[in-house]
Amino acid sequence: MDAPIIAFFNNKGGVGKTSLVFHLSWMYADLGLGVLAADLDPQANLTAAFLEDERLEEFWPDGEHSNTVYGSIEPLLRGTGDIVEKPYVERIDERIYLLLGDLALSRFEDELSSQWPQCLDKKERAFRVISAFWRVIERIKCEHNIDIVLVDLGPNLGAINRAILVASDYLAIPLVPDLFSLQGLKNLGPSIMDWRAGWADRLDRNPAKDLSLPAGRMDPIGYVIMQHAEKLGRPVKAYERWAERIPVVYSEEILGKKLETGVESSKNQMGLIRHYRSLMPMAQEAHKPIFHLRPADGAIGSLQNAVRDAKDNFKQLAVEIARRCNIAVPNN
């Protein structure tokens, strides 16, 4: 089966999206899958999570972008060619590859915006521009043993994210139970539906029959509640109030339908990831997932119980996402 592309996206920032992609990348690798972690957020926080500062400096020297995602599409942006033949990826682990982010990627925003309507006029270059991210990922998938692609996006509804979602098979939405996340869902839903329909209108207008294009599925598979505050084993009341509204808002705004009577209201919730406050700084310092922390990293005594809990927590979520995307997990 072709490796599915899963985008992790919310119009609301600060919901732990990058941390989720980072940890799931490691968990899927632990479970025996080949992973491509694609950092398509111009802030490049996912890249910084994986790599030490010294290594980052090697990829982002002044004026040099050849080994980043921006370098992969730069010839197309400059008008000197198409995407590069062999996009660079950094091998993080035996099973994890990283498509490096780049702050320069924001330069692609205007080009993607202007070429979207040009697709309606059957302009070949417009289709090459809009499909650039997808074709870069496809070339990496062909070059390496990739079973699943996890994509990190920035928190906005701009042209870059539209092109990324057009390239995606599935959409997973991380959120926290608060007013801003719910408003983010309300903003995101209409955009997804509009972009999906807009790309469907454009696909048949592709003048280059030898140019493969993404299907533009962007099928929502559910949401993940992040940074869940607990007190005495129960959500605090402010979180509880917003958590109760999430299933209805998600169903109406993302799926475009009202919840039916008798239907389990939480069926679209794929999992809940606790905050692990005391462990997160250690993990960031070590450039490791929480569930790989050892006593040498500072996770001593009772903190090892939290490490084991985090492993179970992320494994359950990873298996559930894989199930919804029809991915076989060998070491489940």
Query: 170-174, 226-230, 280-284 — which is least confidently predicted?
Result: 226-230
Residue 263 pLDDT > 60, yes or no? no
Cα dihedral 215, 45, 108, 185 sign: positive
| Other CB atoms within 10 Å distance of the CB of residue 229 | 13
Contact between residue 249 and residue 185 where contact means Cβ atoms under 8 Å apart = yes
At 61, the pLDDT band (50, 70, 90 cuts) reads low
Cα 103 to chain centroid distance, Å, stands at 17
Q: No. of H helices and E strands in the chain?
A: 12, 10
| Other CB atoms within 10 Å distance of the CB of residue 200 | 11
Task: Delineate the domains of the chain, giving CATH numbers in brackets.
Answer: 5-324 (3.40.50.300)
Beta-bridged to residue 98, according to DSSP, are: 37, 90
Contact between residue 171 and residue 321 where contact means Cβ atoms under 8 Å apart = no
The CA-based angle 225-23-277, given to 5 degrees, is: 65
Q: Report CA-CA distances (Å) from 142 to 32, 69, 71, 130, 284.
A: 18, 17, 19, 20, 31
Query: 128-132, 187-191, 278-282 — which is least confidently predicted?
Result: 278-282
Q: Please tell me the predicted confidence (pLDDT) of residue 258.
A: 77
Q: Please tell me the predicted confidence (pLDDT) of residue 1.
A: 61
* pLDDT (tens digit per residue) in 182-229: 888 888 999 999 999 999 999 999 999 899 999 999 999 999 998 755
Which residues have CB under 8 Å from 246's CB, separation 6+?
A: 175, 177, 181, 182, 185, 223, 225, 269
Nearest to 295 by CA among 307, 312, 310: 307
- C-alpha 288/C-alpha 137 separation (Å) is 24
* pLDDT (tens digit per residue) in 63-104: 678 899 999 999 998 888 899 999 999 999 999 999 999 999
Contact between residue 179 and residue 185 where contact means Cβ atoms under 8 Å apart = no
* pLDDT (tens digit per residue) in 6-16: 999 988 777 78
Tokens coding 293: 């922390």
Contact between residue 34 and residue 195 where contact means Cβ atoms under 8 Å apart = no
- Length of the chain equals 332
- C-alpha 12/C-alpha 227 separation (Å) is 14
Residue 263: Cβ-neighbour burial (10 angstroms; 0-12, 13-18, 19+): exposed
Residue 262 pLDDT > 50, yes or no? no
The continuous run of DSSP H or E covering 266 comes out as none
Contact between residue 43 and residue 103 where contact means Cβ atoms under 8 Å apart = yes
Cα 283 to chain centroid distance, Å, stands at 20
Residue 332 pLDDT > 80, yes or no? no
- C-alpha 101/C-alpha 62 separation (Å) is 15
* pLDDT (average), residues 100-129: 96
Average pLDDT score, the chain? 89
- C-alpha 290/C-alpha 323 separation (Å) is 23
Query: 276-280, 323-327, 328-332 — which is least confidently predicted?
Result: 276-280
Tokens coding 8: 């992790």
